[in-house]
Structure 1
Amino acid sequence: MDSLAGSSQRFYEEADTSRTRRRMIIGAALALAVLAAAWFGYRAFQGGGEAEAGAGADAASVPSVTVAIPGRTSVEFTISANGTIAARREMPVGVSGEGGQVARVLVEPGQWVGAGQPLAVIDRAVQTQQAEALQASIRVAQADAKLAQAELERAEALVSRGFISKADMDRKRATRDAAQARVRVAQAQYQEAIARNNRLNIVAPAAGLVLTREVEPGQVVSAGSGVLFRMAKGGEMEMLAQLAEADLQRVKVGTRAVVTPVGTELEIPGQIWQVAPIIDPNTRQGMVRIAIPYSGALRPGGFADARLVAGTEQAPLLPESAVQSGPEGNYVLIVGKDDKIERRPVKVGTVTDGGVSIASGLNGNEKVVVLAGAFLNPGDKVKPVIQKSTR
C-alpha cells in the first residue's frame, strides 16, 4: 500500500516538472519572437531615416543658378569699320602764272580763307615796270590817233574846194584807222600785262581750310614747282573706311554713321555718300566714303573708327556675362531637359548698351544661364531661378 502511494506521488511530481519545463520553453520562444520583431522594426526605421537623409543631402547639393529667357528684341544692326580721315574735296594750289620770287606768305595751315583770297605774294617789280611801259604806249598811240583824226577832218574841209584828191582822203582815213587800231593793241597789251601780274599772286580757288603749306618767302617758284598749298574745300571732311564684301552689301548711300577719331571719345555723326562699285580682289574689301562735318579733332591722314547703322533686326538680347568664348567660338549655357546644363554655340551680333544680340544659335525661348557659367559643365543638374529682366 505504501509502495503504491509512493509510485503515484512520483508520477504527479514528474508530470508537474514536465509542465513547468514546457511553459519555460514556450515563454523563451515568445521572448525571442518579440526581440526579433523589435530588431527588424528598428532596422527598418533606421534604413528609412538614412534614405530620407540621403535625399535631403542630394537636394541640398543642387546649386541654384540665375537664368533668363531673352525673347526677341528690336536691335539696331551695326557694322564696325576703321579707316583714315581725308578732305572730302581736297584742292591742291600751285603757281598759275609765270611765277617768280615769293615776297610774302599770308596764311598758315589750319587757317580759314575765302574764295580769291591771296595765299602768297610774288615779287613783281619787273612786271610792274613792264605794265607802266605798256600804259605809256597806250598814251602814245592815242596821241597818234588823235593827230590822224585831226588831219582827216582838215582834209575833208578842203575836198569841196578841190585841193585834196579822193586818193589822198583814202590814205588819211587809213592812217586814222591804223592809229586807232594801235591804241586798241596797246590797251590789250596793257590789260594782258595786268592780268599776268594779278596771276602772280597765289590765291585760294574757293573758300575752305588750309591744310598744308610748302612755300617760304624768298623761294623762287614757277609752273613746275608743284603743289604749294593744300586746302579742304569748305572744310568738309570724310572717312575712307574698308568693309568686307558681305558688309558692303548691307550699306548704301545715306546710311548713318558715327565716327570716333583715335585718341578721342568724340562721336561725330555722318553718313555714307559713296559706296565703292568694285571689290579689291586681293583683300575682298570695298571702300565706303563717309561724309562728316568739320571738327578740330579731325586731321586728314589720321585714323578713326566708325559704327555704321545698317538697319534693325529682331534678335535675342543677353547680358555680356551670359556669353562665353572658347577655342571653338562663342557659346552660352542653357538649362535643358531635367534641369541639366547644355552648351549651345552662338554667333554674336551687335553689342549695345543693353547687352549682346545673338545673331544665330538661339530662338529666344531658352533658359540661358546669366551668371556663374564658368563654374558649370554640361550635364550638371541645377535649380534654375528666372531673372525678371535682362536689361
Structure 2
Amino acid sequence: MKYLSLAIIVFLYGCAPKQEQAGTPPPQALPVISINAASVTTSLDYPASIEGKVNVEIRPQVDGYLDKIFVDEGAFVTAGKPLFKINEQPYREQLNSANAALHSAEASVINAQLEIDKLTPLVQNKVVSDIQLKTAKAAYSVAAANVEQAKAQVAAARINLGYTLIKAPVSGYIGRLPKKQGSLVSRTDPQALTNLSDVHEVLAYFSFGENDFISFKQQYPGNTLEEKLKSLPDVLLVLADNTVYQEKGRIDIIDGQFDKNTGAITVRAKFPNTKGLLRSGNTGKIRLSLKHNNALLVPQSATVEMQDKVFVYAVGKDNKVSKQPVTVGGKNGTDYLVTGGVKPGDRIVFSGLDHLHEGEEIHPEKLSNDNLNK
C-alpha cells in the first residue's frame, strides 16, 4: 500500500504541467537610423603663414655712421617718409670734388676751342700745317669727353649723397631696429636696418597635398586652373586662438609645381586688412569649404574606430547586426561624410554599440529627427 501511494504521487507529478525553464533573453532594443543622401558643405583646414602684401628689407646703400633715426619700432609710416640719416659729410665733400673736376674739364674744353679758333685761319692761309689743327680738334674731343665723365662723377656723388637719407619705399609698419644712433652701417651688413611691411592687404600661404590638389581640380567647375580659381568660394582665416578673422579672403594663386621634398604645392589666399589687425609673421589656418552633392552623413556616435578604421553596425532585414567598415571622406559638425561602405536606405545602430556582437539580433527602435539632432 505504501508503494502504491508513492507510485501514484510520482505519476501525478509527471502529469502535472512543467514550469518554464529559463530561455534566451529577448533581443535588446536599440535606436536605429536610416542613412539618407543630402547636399552638404564641409570644410578643411590648412596651416598657413601670413605675410604683408609687400615686405621690404631696409638696407643702407652707402657706408657711414648713423646720425639720426626718425622712426620707432612698430610705427606706421607712409611712402617717402625719412627713416634714417647717415652722416653725409664725406659724401658732400665727394660731390664738391666732383663739381670741381667738372669745372676744370669744362675749362679745358674752352681752351681747346680757343686753340681751334686760333689755328683755323692760319691753316686756311697756309701759315701753319694742317696737322696742328687736327691735333687741336683731337684735344677738343678729349676735353669734351672729360666733361661728360666729370658730369657722371657729379651725378654719382649726388646719388651717394642722396643715399645718406633713407626713406620709406612703401607705406607700412616698421619692424625691429637693431642698429642704434651712432652705429657704423655698411652695404655689406648681414642684418638689415629694419623691415617695412605693407599690410593693408595680407597674403596667407598654405599647401595642398597631391590628393587634395586632385580633389580640388575635380570639385570645382572650369576647364583651366584659372577658371577654377574664379569659381572658388571665399575662404576663412582661423587665427592662432581659434577665432575666425572677420574678413573673408580669396584664393588667387596656385604655384606652378610641386615641392619635390614635401610633395605639396603652395597656394595663396588674399585677405583685406583695413584695420591692421594682422601683421607679417602671423600664423593661422585657411578654412576651405567644399560642397558635396548627394552626400551620405553618418553621426560619429553611430561609429566605432578600430585599428585606424571606422565601422558601423548595419541592421539587416532579419534585424541582425553586422559590423561594416565605412570610408570617411570628411566631417560636417558631428557627422562623418561617408563615401563608401553604406548606401542610402541602409539602417545602422545609432547608439549602444559597446555591447553589440556580430550577428546579434536586436529590436530596432526608430529614432526621431528631434532625438537625432540633440
Q: Give TM-score scaled by structure 1 length.
A: 0.66
Q: In the alignment, which of 13, 20, 35 is matched to residue 70 of structure 1?
A: 35
Unpaired segments of 5 or more residues in structure 1? 1-42
* 1:237 maps onto 2:208 in alignment: no
Residue aligning to 1:347: 327
Q: Which whole-Å CA distance do the structure 2 matches of 1:184 and 1:383 have between them?
A: 100
Shift of 1:105: 3.4
- Cα distance change of structure 1 residues 305 and 173 upon mapping to structure 2, 3 Å threshold: closer
Give the aligned residue type for 1:377.
L
Aligned to 1:165: 128
Distance 1:82 1:346 in 2: 28
Other structure's SS at 1:249 match: helix
Mapped to 2, the partners of 1:288 and 1:119 lie a distance apart of 34
SS in 1 for 2:216: coil
Partner of 1:17: none
> 2:59 — aligned with what?
94
Q: Secondary structure at the match of 1:215?
A: coil
Mean CA deviation greater in 84-93 or 264-273? 84-93
Query: 1:197 — aligned with what?
Result: 161
Instruction: Output one character per residue of 1:213-270: Cα deviation in whole Å (capped at 9) or x when no partner.
Output: 44332221222202413455775423234x5553343235636643312114124534
Q: Distance in 2 between matches of 1:93 and 1:311?
A: 45
Is residue 238 of structure 2 the alignment partner of residue 260 of structure 1? Answer: yes
In the aligned structure 2, how far is the partner of 1:359 from the partner of 1:109? 53
Q: Choose the corresponding residue for 2:84, options 101, 111, 120.
A: 120
2:356 alignment counterpart: 377
Structure 2: runs of 5 or more not aligned: 1-15, 218-224
* 1:73 and 1:315 in contact (8 A); partners too: yes
From 152, 176, 180, the equivalent of 1:188 is: 152
Q: What is the CA deviation profile of residues 364-387 of structure 1, one whole-angstrom value per residue up to 9, with x for unaligned ones? A: 2122344x4357634253242253
Instruction: Tell me the alpha carbon deviations over residues 3-23 of structure 1, each in whole angstroms, 9 at most, x when there is no partner.
Output: xxxxxxxxxxxxxxxxxxxxx
Provide the residue aligned with 1:368 in structure 2.
348
- Offset at residue 294 of structure 1 (A): 5.2
Output the CA distance in 2 between the equivalents of 1:223 and 1:179.
35
2:212 is the counterpart of 1:247: yes
Rounded to whole Å, the distance in 1 between the matches of 2:280 and 2:164 is 29
Counterpart-to-counterpart distance in 1, 2:44 and 2:257: 16
1:59-114 deviation digits (Å, cap 9, x = unpaired): xx87765433232123346444325444577544433x342122233455555666
Larger relative helix fraction: 1
Shift of the alpha carbon at 1:171?
5.6
State the SS of the aligned residue for 1:82: strand
Q: Equivalent of 2:317, from 316, 337, 346?
A: 337
Asked whether the equivalents of residues 42 and 332 of structure 2 are also in contact (C-alpha less than 8 Å), the reply is no
Q: Which amino acid aligns with 1:165?
A: V
Report if aligned partners of 1:86, 1:238 keep a CA contact under 8 Å in 2.
Answer: yes
Cα RMSD, aligned residues only: 4.3
Distance in 2 separating the partners of 1:178 and 1:82: 66
Post-superposition shift, 1:127? 0.9
> Which of 298, 301, 326 is the equivalent residue of 1:318?
298
Q: Does 1:135 align with 2:99?
A: yes
Higher mean C-alpha displacement, 243-252 vs 217-226? 243-252
Given residue 136 of structure 1, which amino acid in structure 2 is its aligned partner? Answer: A
Check whether the contact 2:238–2:284 (CA below 8 A) recurs between aligned residues: yes
Return 70-79 or 323-332, whichever deviates more.
323-332
Tell me the equivalent position of 1:8: none
* Distance in structure 2 (CA, Å) of the matches to 1:171 and 1:340: 117
- Find the partner of 2:270 among 292, 310, 313: 292
Q: Do the aligned residues in 1 keep the contact of 2:29 with 2:362 (CA within 8 Å)?
A: no
Q: Percent identity over the alignment? A: 19
CA contact (8 A) 1:85 1:240 kept: no
Q: Distance in 2 between matches of 1:314 and 1:109?
A: 54
| 293 and 104 in structure 1: CA distance in 2 versus 1, 3 angstrom threshold | farther
Contact 1:155 1:164 survives alignment (8 Å): no
Tell me if structure 1 keeps the 8 A contact 2:39–2:294. yes
- The letter for the 2-side match of 1:189 is Q
- Pick the aligned partner of 1:103 from 45, 60, 67: 67
Kindly tell me: are residues 334 and 173 of structure 1, through their superposed partners in 2, closer, same or farther at Cα, counting changes over 3 Å? closer
Q: Cα–Cα, structure 1 residues 162 and 146, in superposed 2: closer, same or farther, change >3 Å?
A: same
TM-score (norm 2): 0.68
- For residues 134-160 of structure 1, give each alpha carbon's deviation from its aligned partner in whole angstroms, at most 9, with x where no partner exists: 22333344345445545654665x649
Is the 1:88–1:291 Cα contact (8 Å) retained in structure 2? no
Asked whether the 8 Å contact 1:261–1:303 carries over to 2, the reply is yes
Q: Is the 8 A contact 2:314 2:349 kept in 1?
A: yes
